[in-house]
């Protein structure tokens, strides 16, 4: 059986089963945004690892070394944010073609440090090796979280609201601008490219949501809203019903979609790399949470819909039609 026949998720499940006999029973292992391992009473280390491959996740010279360094750390911090963990350390391994300029590598770390400084994260080690092919960036991040506060993917029930920490689709709009010649204003272009090259992980928001104690599950939107929501559905044995009029499409995604003759909703549902948090919360806790969130961060929380007891993902369109939603975004295999 080949990977592209069974898919990434199925292979990860097989690996989890193969390695289950030595799994950490106190913590959380394969299958969430980060692993949790106990270091002292009540404190757990959250560890996450994400890899970026030239030609798959980024193109050179399409992205600058600084942006690549910033983004490589951002996508990893987003996983810690989805656990409600406080980031502490990053370890950075690079596989580099032998002719790579030293200044490229230093610029990569300059970009990474811009983000590291804003959260007080130490770049604590790593590895440099030669690559006969593409440039590969592998980052591991570690953070701290109390076990009882950690936001996991498991724990939601039908009826709970499905929410996000921000609007969606701007990163996909940025990617569309890189791949196609789409006329749009400088302001829209800057916003979309910023979202694509320099996503802001919701670290403070994740910590805040975890401390509040009412959020039941969380995941970061890395692959695309529909794929990430399916992950929550599958783990919790739920379905979901979304309302099109509630989907928070980023203004830059609307503008780029209009200029390109594409659907803004597609950017928001399938685009991916938004790095907002997707989370579930009981309906009776939402109003207080949303009010406090806006006081804290000056931005709203969005309710996209709710979890259902049926094993299907549906959307009520603006015209009142019910549609089945199928993820049509990027898959690795």
Contacting positions for Mg ion (CB under 5 A): 33, 79, 220, 222
**Nearest to Mg ion of 79, 244 (CB atom):** 79
Closest residue to bound Mg ion by CB = 33
Characterize the bridge pairing of strands 86-96 and 122-130: parallel
Q: How far apart are CA 130 and CA 206, in angstroms?
A: 36
Minimum distance, C-beta of residue 219 to Mg ion, in the bound complex (Å):
6
Minimum distance, C-beta of residue 30 to Mg ion, in the bound complex (Å):
13
Task: Spell out the alpha helix ranges (H) of the chain.
Answer: 3-6, 8-18, 65-83, 102-119, 170-179, 186-197, 203-212, 225-236, 251-260, 264-270, 283-297
**Nearest to Mg ion of 47, 222 (CB atom):** 222
**Nearest to Mg ion of 67, 223 (CB atom):** 223
Contact 112, 64 (CB under 8 A): no
Minimum distance, C-beta of residue 223 to Mg ion, in the bound complex (Å):
8
Minimum distance, C-beta of residue 199 to Mg ion, in the bound complex (Å):
12
**Nearest to Mg ion of 171, 222 (CB atom):** 222
Q: In 3D, which of 6, 139, 155 has the Cα closest to residue 78? A: 139
**Nearest to Mg ion of 79, 274 (CB atom):** 79
Minimum distance, C-beta of residue 298 to Mg ion, in the bound complex (Å):
25
**Nearest to Mg ion of 54, 273 (CB atom):** 273
Neighbouring-strand partners of residue 45? 37, 144
Q: In 3D, which of 301, 229, 315 has the Cα closest to residue 265? A: 315
Q: How far apart are CA 241 and CA 324, in angstroms?
A: 9
Minimum distance, C-beta of residue 197 to Mg ion, in the bound complex (Å):
19
Q: How far apart are CA 233 and CA 69, in angstroms?
A: 33
């Amino acid at each position: 059986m080949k990977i592209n026949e069974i898919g990434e998720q199925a292979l990860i499940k097989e690996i989890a089963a193969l390695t289950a006999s030595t799994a950490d029973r106190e913590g959380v292992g394969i299958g969430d945004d980060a692993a949790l391992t106990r270091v002292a009473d009540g404190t757990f280390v959250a560890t996450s690892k994400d890899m970026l491959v030239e030609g798959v996740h980024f193109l050179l010279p399409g992205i600058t070394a600084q942006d690549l360094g910033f983004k490589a750390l951002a996508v990893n911090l987003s996983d810690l944010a989805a656990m409600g963990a406080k980031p502490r350390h990053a370890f950075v391994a690079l596989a580099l073609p032998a002719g790579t300029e030293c200044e490229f590598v230093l610029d990569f770390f300059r970009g990474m440090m811009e983000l590291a400084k804003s959260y007080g994260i130490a770049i604590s080690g790593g590895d440099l090796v030669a690559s006969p092919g593409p440039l590969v960036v592998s980052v591991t991040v570690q953070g701290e979280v109390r076990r009882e506060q950690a936001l996991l993917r498991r724990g939601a029930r039908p009826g709970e609201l499905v929410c996000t920490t921000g609007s969606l689709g701007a990163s996909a709009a940025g990617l569309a601008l890189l791949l196609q010649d789409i006329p749009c204003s400088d302001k829209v272009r800057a916003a979309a490219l910023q979202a694509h090259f320099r996503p802001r992980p919701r670290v403070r928001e994740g910590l805040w949501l975890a401390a509040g104690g009412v959020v039941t599950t969380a995941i970061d939107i890395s692959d695309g809203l529909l794929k990430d929501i399916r992950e929550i559905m599958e783990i919790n044995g739920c379905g979901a019903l979304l309302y099109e009029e509630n989907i928070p499409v980023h203004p830059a995604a609307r503008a780029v979609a209009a200029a390109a003759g594409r659907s803004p909703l597609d950017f928001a549902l399938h685009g991916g790399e938004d790095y907002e948090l997707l989370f579930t919360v009981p309906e009776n806790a939402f109003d207080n949470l949303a009010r406090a969130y806006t006081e804290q961060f000056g931005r709203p929380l969005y309710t996209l819909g709710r979890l259902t007891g049926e094993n299907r993902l549906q959307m009520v369109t603006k015209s009142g039609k019910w549609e089945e939603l199928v993820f049509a975004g990027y898959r690795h295999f």
